[in-house]
Amino acid sequence: MSSALQINDLHFDYPDGTSALRGVDLVVQPGERVAVLGPNGAGKTTLMLHSNGLLRARSGSIRVAGQLLADESLAQIRQQVGMVFQDPDDQLFMPTVADDVAFGPANAGLSQAEITTRVEKALTEVGMWAQRDRPPHHLSLGQRRRVAVATVLAMDPELLVLDEPSSNMDPTSRRELADILLSSGRTLAMVTHDLPYAAQICPRAVILNEGRIKADGPTLQLLADEQLLRENRLELPYGFDPAALTA
């Protein structure tokens, strides 16, 4: 079976010459949930934007479900890698929730019957079917983020990529989104500064710093390594003890 995502020796420089990724290797197997952790400026979001070709590397390779990301495969891979951005308003622009979720399948050329089925399934999965006729900008941040997830689920992607999914959400919204992600059974990669959220959702984590993978292993094991966290400018919130969760 092919890896869901395979990144080999990835290098990327920004136009000003800043080196953002310096030889990154990462493999995510089907069904895995992997957190990408690291301080500001580490290259986390830059790395994830490469997974569906929104950014293109200076050198290295990316494969999604065994398929090499290249100009000729870009459209297909973008259907296989579903990106959920930090700000849901970057993804929601249609008059109603249902219209937003239907947008991707419609542009993929699916039949109206299939589009309708996918919209209902995706919105039901995120608990937003009852809100299908509402304008997205009338929803709370937590609701908008769930609709943003639904827009991606409607495309039935091979890999779900989330950028700071718990950012600015209240505890109830955080829990609701975590329940959705845990129950979906999807392969996912999640960029986050929220270390307890990473521990809750992702059994595996990688630490990215200075454009390089510094550690890769069980999330709770990495979070219990105080020296590793200190070296990579990561801080656990007061009162959170990953060692207690491994006992």
Tens digits of residue pLDDT in 62-98:
999 999 999 999 999 998 999 999 999 999 999 999 9
What is the predicted pLDDT for the residue at 242? Answer: 84
| CA–CA distance, 156 with 159 (Å, rounded to integer) | 9
User: What CATH number has the domain bearing residue 18?
Assistant: 3.40.50.300
What is the predicted pLDDT for the residue at 39? Answer: 92
pLDDT at 184 over 90: no
Q: Which domain holds residue 104?
A: 5-246
pLDDT mean across residues, the chain: 93
What is the predicted pLDDT for the residue at 11? Answer: 95
Q: What is the rounded average pLDDT of the residues 113-123?
A: 97
What is the predicted pLDDT for the residue at 15? Answer: 87
Domain count, the chain: 1
Tens digits of residue pLDDT in 132-146:
999 999 999 999 999
Q: What is the rounded average pLDDT of the residues 52-56?
A: 90
| CA–CA distance, 114 with 111 (Å, rounded to integer) | 5
Closest by alpha carbon to 35, among 44, 46, 43, 25? 44
Question: 246: pLDDT confidence band, cut at 50, 70 and 90?
Answer: low
Phi, psi of 109 (to 5 degrees): 85, 20
**What does the chain come to in residues?**
247
Q: b/e map of 38-68 (b: 16 or more CB within 10 Å)?
A: beeebbbbbbbbbbbbebebeebebbbbeee
Residue 231, both tokens: 């070296």
